[in-house]
Amino acid sequence: MSFTSVVIDYGAGNLRSIERALAVAGLAPRVVAEPGAVGQPDLLVLPGQGHFGQVARAFRASGFEAAVRDHVASGRRFLGICVGLQLLLEGSDEAPGEAGLGLLPGWVRRFPHGAAPVPQMGWNRLAKGPDFPLLTGVASGAYVYFANSYYADVGLENRPAASATTEYAGVSFLSAFSLGNVHATQFHPEKSQAVGLRILSNLAAVTSGTAA
User: Whole-model pTM?
Assistant: 0.95
| pLDDT above 80: residue 13 | no
Which band of pLDDT confidence, cut at 50, 70 and 90, is reported for residue 209? low
- What are the boundaries of each domain within the chain? 5-202
- The identity of residue 200, as a single letter, is L
Separation of alpha carbons 151 and 206, rounded Å: 25
The residues annotated with a catalytic role in the active site are: 82, 188, 190
pLDDT digits (tens, 9 = 90+) for 88-123: 999 999 999 999 999 999 999 999 998 899 999 999
Q: Are 146 and 120 in contact (CB under 8 A)?
A: yes
5-202 maps to which CATH number? 3.40.50.880
Rounded to 5 degrees, what angle do the CA atoms 206, 209, 212 make? 115
Which band of pLDDT confidence, cut at 50, 70 and 90, is reported for residue 20? very high
